[in-house]
Structure 1
Amino acid sequence: MTRTELRKTWADRVAHFEASGQSATAWCAAHHIQPHQLYYWRRKLRASEKPQTPSTFLLPQWLPLEIDETSTDAEASVVIRVHQIVLEARPGCSPEWLADLVRALMSRC
């Protein structure tokens, strides 16, 4: 039996069990199936039906940065927000250190 056939067989069994209204123990005894197999396949089939939520695979999103070229403020800083964390990079800040810090924070979020 191929994997596809096995999955189809168990999907039919699980659907039959759920429609029966019987307890898992009673249904399994009547169909000569071990309860742990029914529970396993029921969990497996339910997990495959759930769509992947965006939070499962969060990737960094880069946003455009608008720079006002007319600003002459030499002490201006850049504020970076990552979820609830706020970073302020002031002039003279090491770009390598800042990049490492942002990468570390993104790997934790």
Structure 2
Amino acid sequence: MNTREVTNQYRLNKWTEIVRECRSSGQTVASWCADHEINPKTYYYWLKRVRTAAYEALPSLSSHTSPIVPVNVPVSTAGMAPGDVASSSDIIIRMGTVTLEIRNQASATLIEKIHSGHFNMFGDVSKAEKIYIACGYTDMRKSIDGLAAIVQQNFQLNPFQNSLFLFCGRQRNRMKALYWEGDGFVLLYKRLEDGRYQRPMNAEAVRSITSQEFRWLLEGLSIDQPKAVKNLNMTVCL
């Protein structure tokens, strides 16, 4: 692979990461681009290049030994929720705020994974053994590489350990979570439409919190609750 091909592959990897972050943020493209100071036209150009590369990487249909039999599914609007828009997808699965659309061209392996419950789009961060939160604010423009560098260089921690790392923005209405899942990083991004996160403001660079304190944080409460009943480690019974 020559220098030009290496450069193109590096750019595609960065563009793919940006597209994934935008789509997982829950924001519109215009809003996300404004928050990250990216021109929407530039974003759509990157998206086009990523799609083209993905299409070219697909194997030719002539290489399939098993015939593909199309199934015609009649389009019906019965049972659609108010405000739903007619879709060209043949199967639509709604899981909370996530909508999964499946076409007839989907592979049998993918459908089997969805049916058996093994299809996880965001990873299971509940498996994290420890939770760390960055004290003070973090630049929300940072993505996986930038946040992992903060964990390693500023916190002196291993970003590949089984831990969840939390970062809050300056305005305290945005939070990112970084988690290593074994085969890759999971990056979650949440923006509150109303309310603020009560992130710690002490002098420590990073702080370890419990799962209960994490729940308080997500509910807009301070992680320091002086009136909360605390667990005691007793060794002697009097």
| TM-score normalised by length of structure 1 | 0.43
Q: Whose strand proportion is higher, 1 or 2?
A: 2
| TM-score normalised by length of structure 2 | 0.21
Q: Whose helix proportion is higher, 1 or 2?
A: 1
